[in-house]
Chain A
Amino acid sequence: GNSVTQMEGPVTLSEEAFLTINCTYTATGYPSLFWYVQYPGEGLQLLLKATKADDKGSNKGFEATYRKETTSFHLEKGSVQVSDSAVYFCALSIKAAGNKLTFGGGTRVLVKP
């Protein structure tokens, strides 16, 4: 079946530090890959996405590159802010599976001033 594995948190950083959250996947077929963010007390928001190998998704200073050879989609940001404190979810979807999202377990990130 399809699955997503991401690093467990919490990840605690100082402001302006570099953030990396690892994400690897297992899928039958050709998945689209996503990073969603959940701020405290809120629903999920799409942060970025990539739909084919070597695509790079980017948004709000975050980037992730679809690496088919390593089945990975690691999230990076060069300089985090306190406002980036949230739970980050890596996810995949496959059209043949009804486009349902399969999520990783989430990584809580806490950025301290």
Chain B
Amino acid sequence: DTAVSQTPKYLVTQMGNDKSIKCEQNLGHDTMYWYKQDSKKFLKIMFSYNNKELIINETVPNRFSPKSPDKAHLNLHINSLELGDSAVYFCASSQQGLPNYEQYFGPGTRLTVT
């Protein structure tokens, strides 16, 4: 009964390939996020969706395209992978509108581009 799950946990691929990371939450939340954690542990927001609508899009290359088929899922597709894309990607979810909302994080997907 994992709250926020991501697949795969590890992803090793070569430069130029296209890959996807999937995220699912069973908390009934209406908002989902993607964060990127670099090798120095620095965390930065990439995208956020609320009820399948994109509400946050930070300065992320166009090669990254999030897709939310429903409010319980937020996938991240990456085209033409580059070495600099190597990082741990975390999905998170929360419920907007609650006074003291909390973001729940998935276990992360470690992407290694060779």
CB <8 Å contact, B42 and A43: no
CB <8 Å contact, B55 and A101: no
Q: A99-B31, A105-B40, A108-B41 are in contact. List 10 more A-B contacts (CB 8 A).
A: A42-B108, A44-B90, A49-B102, A51-B100, A98-B55, A99-B94, A99-B96, A101-B43, A105-B42, A106-B41
Contact of B41 among A43, A46, A87 (CB under 8 A): A87
CB <8 Å contact, A99 and B43: no
Q: Is A89 an interface residue (CB 8 A)?
A: yes
Q: How far is the CA of A38 from the CA of B71 in the complex (A)?
A: 26
User: Using Cβ atoms and an 8 Å threshold, which residues of chain A touch B108?
Assistant: 42-43
Contact of B56 among A38, A100, A103 (CB under 8 A): A100
Taken residue by residue from 57 to 101, chain B's Cβ proximity to chain A (1 for < 8 Å, 0 otherwise) reads as 000000000000000000000000000000000101010100111
Interface residues of chain B: helix, strand, loop or mixed (majority): strand
- Smallest CB-CB A-B distances: 10 pairs: A103-B43, A44-B105, A43-B105, A106-B41, A100-B45, A43-B107, A98-B56, A43-B108, A98-B55, A100-B56
User: In the complex, which residues 51-110 of chain A have their Cβ closer than 8 Å to any Cβ of chain B?
Assistant: 51, 87, 89, 98-103, 105-106, 108
User: Using Cβ atoms and an 8 Å threshold, which residues of chain A touch B100?
Assistant: 32, 49, 51
Q: How far is the CA of A45 from the CA of B104 in the complex (A)?
A: 7
User: Using Cβ atoms and an 8 Å threshold, which residues of chain B touch A108?
Assistant: 41
Q: How far is the CA of A101 from the CA of B13 in the complex (A)?
A: 29
CB <8 Å contact, A100 and B107: no
Q: Is B114 an interface residue (CB 8 A)?
A: no
